[in-house]
Amino acid sequence: FFRTFVTYVWQVLSKACHDLNELRHSAALLLPRYRAPVLSGELGEHESAKLAARIKSSSLKLMQDLYLRSLSSSELDDVYARERDAIAARSAAAAAATATAT
């Protein structure tokens, strides 16, 4: 039962989520909805297709939320600026080391 659930979560969310902690959090959000029909006796543990269909809309919503958590353009510009500064500093240090060595 649980293995089927984890496989479903991985197949649906792994392309949108590359962070294991985020994937774990998403699975924790989906598991109660997946288990509810089994606990109420409405569906059996082995009716995985029906159970997956029950959480499909929640899975899609989670996937959209994962995509929306990407950086804003200004935050991304800041990241790129820090990377450029770090590269420039390493290049300057390497040039200074080369000049000192000769």
Comparing 67 with 41, which gets the higher pLDDT?
A: 41
Q: Which two tokens stand for residue 17?
A: 């989520």
Segment 66-71 shows an average pLDDT of 56
Q: What is the pTM (predicted TM-score) of this model?
A: 0.58
Give the pLDDT confidence score for residue 38 in this predicted structure: 92
Q: How many helices (H) and strands (E) does the chain have?
A: 4, 0
In tens, the pLDDT along 10-60 reads 888 877 777 787 888 888 888 888 899 999 999 988 888 898 888 888 887
